[in-house]
Structure 1
């Protein structure tokens, strides 16, 4: 059974909705990319990028595991 919403969604194309909390300070880290979407600014920082060889190997291993799971799911759906 669907739950009724109190406020219906109103699509307003081309306009950004203002956030109630605006943070003026950037998080710690080196800003490597900045994008503007309308009135919204997105900063991409490098503080969450893995840097040690063991961390890189772990991320690559996780990517391989996810890819293998996707292939297995596609194979089982095809059968």
Structure 2
């Protein structure tokens, strides 16, 4: 994720973009099983490695993380 107009040069790791990318690349290769490693966040000093793969038409992403925030979100029911 990039938002330079908001002062965010890049996101240190974007799993949702990574899994979408590996699924797209697999589709370009007629659904071939792929295993790729993505690097992100290097320029901002927070390098990340994300492992992504496709297998039997499904896409997966894995990696480690460092929590930077914790919180709760509550939705009130109107029932």
TM-score after normalising by structure 2: 0.28
Higher helix share: 1
Between structure 1 and structure 2, the one with the greater Rg is 1
Q: Which has the higher contact order (CA 8 A, sep 6+)?
A: 2
Higher strand share: 2
TM-score after normalising by structure 1: 0.28
